[in-house]
Amino acid sequence: MSDVLLAAPSRRSLSLHDAKVRGIIYQVLLAVSLLALAVGIAVQTASNMRARGIPLSFGFWNEAAGFDINQTLIPYDTLSTYGQAFWVGVVNTLYVSLLGIVLATVLGFVVGIARLSPNWIVSKVAASYVEIIRNIPLLLQLLFWYNAVLKTLPAPRASIELPGGIYLNNRGLIIPEIQLYAGAGTVGLAFLAATIFCVAFWSYARRAQNRTGKQLPVLWVGLAALIGLPLIVFLLVGSPVSFVTPDLKGFNYRGGHQLYPEFAALLIGLSVYTASFIAEIVRSGIQAVPKGQTEAAHALGLAPGKTLRLVIVPQALRIIIPPLTSQYLNLTKNSSLAVFIGYPDLVQIFAGTVLNQTGAAVQVMAITLSVYLAISLVTSMAMNAFNQRFAIVER
């Protein structure tokens, strides 16, 4: 019995020499230290804010903003609250980011493939685009598109008239306004049905190709469904859509929808700049696919276009998607440069005007940082899920 009692402390003391136990102790100590540091910073920050009369609460959220925003996708006026202004900034940021991602992806893939073209002129033009655009700071490019390109357009009275009742001037692009009548919802349902049919037919064609090797005309069938079915329904219900052409009244146009130069400059700048990096990612991804894959496809009689689309690009996507995710995140974060050309994004509206009017610097900046963090995390999760479809399945 005495031997057991003497051995127990020995075993407890020996546990401190266990690397796993020491690791747990160190992690606990580190967590406690970080928590104490965070609490200390929070207490000191609150004390400094009280001393300077800076508000500590989020009571400003429901107060009237009192300022106007010229570009909004959701309802807003000067009587709206600061919270509503915040959502206007979030929606505007997401809108330009999503459009920029789509345009940059399309342009980047085109330029990246063009760099590998056997045509000397096409290849060199694509290479020149990449080397020039990606080595000029994005802010300078945004200022160039805004001040040197869009602001030099003629005044509204001397607008450039485009076909279809479209006008281009230094205040933006004005297009006819769409008015919907009874039956427009039926056309929308027809387009939705055509979209569902296209997805189902694509899935069927893919299974049929895996089973028999025969390719079905997915592209042409999809275009016929997406265009033909809504068009037939559109004619049957009596053309429930009309276009109201904008009219020049005074010094500006009235009616129609306006695409402001600030938005256009930001969208063009983000898309063109990010596309130059995506082009290099696409080029390197395609070149990483073994040359034997191309030779095997040609040996089977596949044309160069089908070889690229069916053999090379699907394999290259395994390499392209991870760095492509980083470029999507960069584009979203770079949209905060909109403040320099006057586009009302989250930074200009919330971290700019709202912060200056309320003085709630800590709360406003914490919310702004959290929004960009949330957007980045959601984008990463979506791209990781998309990447799993193309990842090599290990056995």
Could you write out the three-class secondary structure of 136-196? CCHHHHHHHHHHHHHCCCCCHHHCEEECCCEEEECCEEEECEEEECCCHHHHHHHHHHHHH
CA–CA gap between residue 72 and residue 297 (Å, rounded): 50
pLDDT at 22: 80
CA–CA gap between residue 284 and residue 321 (Å, rounded): 12
Stretches in the chain below the pLDDT threshold 70: 1-16, 390-395
299-337 pLDDT per residue, tens: 877 787 778 877 888 888 888 888 999 999 999 999 999
CA–CA gap between residue 103 and residue 93 (Å, rounded): 16
pLDDT at 1: 47
How many CB atoms sit inside 10 A of residue 133's CB? 19
Q: Report which residue type is found at 138.
A: L
pTM attached to this predicted model: 0.81
pLDDT at 392: 60
